[in-house]
């Protein structure tokens, strides 16, 4: 049977990482991989996580399954983190389950949508995270795109986006990034969120909100503004969230999928379908990452420490944006890169050509995706001068 298979190309980002590791240039820079790095280029374990893991080690007395929904405490704390004191929680309209990372949450959501309607259509932004389409197509969904990023003007094509959303069918799903849009870094303003929420209410499509970076943009509550506003406007919604970035739990694979229904009875029905979906994919979710997160969120001391560590990461990312632009100006670059500090989160498009991207890699050992998407966290005070000079030479 295996003889009929043909080799598939490697994921471009994973392939880029392999090339970076093999590069012997001491000045090499990795701007491809989407993980947070500190000034030393290391993705360290947060101190609050270490404390929570010690508590877990001291108190865990069983490795028995925790059930398809995951930990009830984790689900409760995640719902509060996502929605705050929103009415969907007060009205008992939300059901949250833990999932193997944000990607697992998206796959669960996709399979749930497919259970609601076979061959359903989901709309994603152009561009969007590279894995979105694959995850949705694997669940049998039909993927279409709506305009989002204006590559020429380095801004949001909001008019194009809004016009496209008005043509979406009522039984379609629309994927929206809650904050820190991946890969453009260009987020909706509060006023634009209001307009999108009004269109969602008028058209009747199902919003699927992907929130992989809560706290990396402006703050935990600020980054959830659009999501909470949407929940004010529609009767049904799905939220997929991740603890990989804001808790630094990349390898623990813990996230959440939250279904919002019109009322508590409908939420219970939807939850039963969600659990059936989970049972057929991975049966039971992992427990360790959820235990770490719930310990932090349920402790005043650890939660305060987490807020401080999260702010450190957020401030460093935002500072790197301005630092890069300042260094480009210092090196005589006349092209306008002022759009970079206006964006949020881990990523930005430099707006250079694929040929220039390849030149940066082959001649200067600077690695980024062919679209010129860069991971802002890969910039450091120790490499930004070399990076800016190299970009200036290529330009």
Q: In 3-state terms, what secondary structure has residue 242? A: strand
Of the residues 30, 157, 172, 210, only one is catalytic, namely 210
Nearest to 317 by CA among 233, 220, 215, 226: 215
State yes or no: is 80 an active-site residue. Answer: no
Estimate the crossing angle of helix 300-330 against helix 288-297, to 10 degrees. 100
Cβ–Cβ under 8 Å, residues 332 and 392: yes
Task: Please tell me the number of Cα atoms within 13 Å of 110 on its side-chain side.
Answer: 27
Nearest to 353 by CA among 375, 368, 333, 334: 368
Of the residues 30, 37, 123, 129, only one is catalytic, namely 129
Buried b (16+ CB within 10 A) or exposed e, 271-283: beebbebbeeeee
Q: In 3-state terms, what secondary structure has residue 247? A: coil
State yes or no: is 30 an active-site residue. Answer: no
Nearest to 156 by CA among 169, 167, 146: 146
Taking the C-alpha atoms of residue 268 and residue 277, their distance in angstroms, rounded to an integer, is 14
Alpha-helical (H) ranges within 243-299 are 264-281, 288-297
List residues bridging with 375 in a β-sheet.
347
Of the residues 245, 306, 327, 344, only one is catalytic, namely 245
Cβ–Cβ under 8 Å, residues 233 and 207: no
Q: In 3-state terms, what secondary structure has residue 312? A: helix
CA distance from start to end of the chain: 50
By CB atoms closer than 10 A (0-12, 13-18, 19+), residue 2 is exposed
The encoded tokens of residue 164 equal 């496209």
State yes or no: is 210 an active-site residue. Answer: yes
Residues recognised as catalytic:
129, 210, 245
């Amino acid at each position: 049977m295996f003889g009929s298979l043909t080799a598939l190309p490697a994921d471009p980002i994973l392939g880029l990482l392999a090339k970076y590791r093999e590069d012997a240039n001491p000045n090499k820079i990795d701007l491809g991989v989407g993980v947070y790095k500190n000034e030393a280029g290391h993705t360290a374990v947060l101190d609050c996580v270490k404390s929570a893991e010690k508590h877990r080690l001291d108190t865990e007395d069983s490795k028995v399954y925790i059930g398809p929904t995951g930990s009830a405490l984790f689900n409760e704390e995640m719902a509060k983190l996502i929605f705050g004191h929103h009415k969907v929680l007060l009205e008992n309209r939300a059901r949250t389950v833990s999932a193997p990372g944000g990607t697992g949450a998206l796959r669960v959501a996709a399979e749930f949508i497919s259970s609601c309607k076979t061959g359903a259509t989901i709309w994603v932004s152009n561009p969007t995270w590279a894995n979105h389409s694959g995850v949705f197509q694997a669940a049998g969904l039909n993927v279409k795109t709506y305009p989002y990023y204006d590559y020429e003007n380095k801004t949001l094509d909001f008019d194009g986006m809004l016009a496209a959303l008005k043509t979406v069918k009522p039984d379609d799903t629309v994927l929206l990034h809650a904050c820190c849009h991946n890969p453009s870094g260009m987020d909706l303003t509060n006023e634009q969120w209001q307009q999108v929420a009004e269109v969602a209410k008028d058209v009747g499509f199902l919003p699927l909100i992907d929130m992989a970076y809560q706290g990396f943009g402006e703050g935990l509550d600020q980054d959830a503004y659009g999501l909470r506003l949407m929940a004010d406007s529609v009767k049904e919604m799905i939220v997929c969230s991740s603890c990989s970035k804001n808790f630094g739990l990349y390898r623990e694979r813990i996230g959440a999928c939250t279904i919002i229904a019109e009322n508590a009875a409908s939420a219970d029905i939807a939850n039963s379908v969600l659990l059936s979906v989970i049972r057929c994919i991975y049966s039971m979710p992992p427990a360790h990452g959820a235990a770490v997160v719930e310990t932090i969120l349920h402790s005043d001391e650890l939660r305060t420490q987490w807020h401080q560590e999260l702010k450190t990461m957020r401030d460093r990312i935002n500072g790197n944006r301005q630092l890069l632009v300042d260094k480009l100006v210092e090196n005589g670059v006349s092209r306008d890169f002022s759009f970079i500090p206006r964006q949020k989160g881990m990523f930005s498009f430099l707006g250079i050509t694929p040929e220039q991207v390849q030149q940066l890699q082959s001649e200067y050992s600077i690695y980024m995706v062919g679209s010129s998407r860069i991971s802002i966290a890969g910039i450091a005070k120790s490499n930004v001068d070399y990076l800016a000079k190299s970009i200036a030479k290529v330009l």
